[in-house]
Structure 1
């Protein structure tokens, strides 16, 4: 028990700190696509597919990324994904995709200061509640954290991924094997031939890559690149 507590504490560091993520943003590290800290996929990795879409602001930011553990993903969601989502959704004066270099409370205050006062307060409070919801996860062990992150993504998507011209979403995969069905189901209205044309590879090849991403060293370093090249937009 003592070992597990120490191990979880080590896993959390330094992901809980905003300053850690601030440095990543300032260094222009790509936190939305690719391999976080250049770490290949292992059996503790979390693969994510995120999307921020705003037709009016001409924003379409979506992509695949791999994070080494649940705590690193939690830090990204709390300190990067949610502040960026909030700013994109509620700030109607700036154009283009911008990642705030501020903590969440500052992003809220600055956005409210420079935008109209007739914001949808229900939606605004929903986003704030999402941040508080995530902040409570830091005391979880790895197993319960995985379950709570899945619950969070499901609830978040139900709220923010249902408006045609403005969407936010995140999909979390504990096992790369689950990615194949997600990709296939996302474009299931097409025939097999059209799906394979869309993803520029055979379904069999995609399934093999997903099923073997943990065990095969080459695929553990290539799967995310394959997905970002062949299946970047699935909505």
Structure 2
């Protein structure tokens, strides 16, 4: 399982800068046994799509900060959590979304600078059982976020295609369809972030003693203990 996952993540890491986010998600799902498969998600209602996207973004954000704390800087993780609280407190929806997505991007950028090979050796030697569990949970939740992103990409594509073929739907749902486009752009940003740190995930899975990956978007995220 781990070897297949490592190979898939290596492919994504190499091609991440050039490949569209949708292709990256599809490649991961196709190459990793246990990350699900089958037909693309049928287009659902816009509210469901937006809710799913929001959940995936939140899961990515929280998992990235948790990993940053474990493998890089506790101070930076604390700073990002403070920024997260400030973002969540914003009353303007657009400002809130922009601030939340900036927190995600900042966490991912710092994770991308980590030497995961060296860090995994260091953690194997000194990590406590509690720290190992926390790393395992964060990696599991990132894998689940990828599944949720794949489902959201499929659903968003279907929604936009359906609306494009139906002028009446476009006229009546134009405002929400703009939100679908915005959310799709956010997913692309999420997958770029995940691609940048993906090469290190197999090493962290070992440190975290992660035995299995989620197989469905209906799987529950694992709680991260403080």
**TM surpasses 0.5:** no
Greater per-residue strand proportion: 1
Greater per-residue helix proportion: 2
Structure with greater contact order relative to length (CA < 8 Å, sep ≥ 6): 2
What TM-score do the two structures reach when normalised by structure 1?
0.28
What TM-score do the two structures reach when normalised by structure 2?
0.29
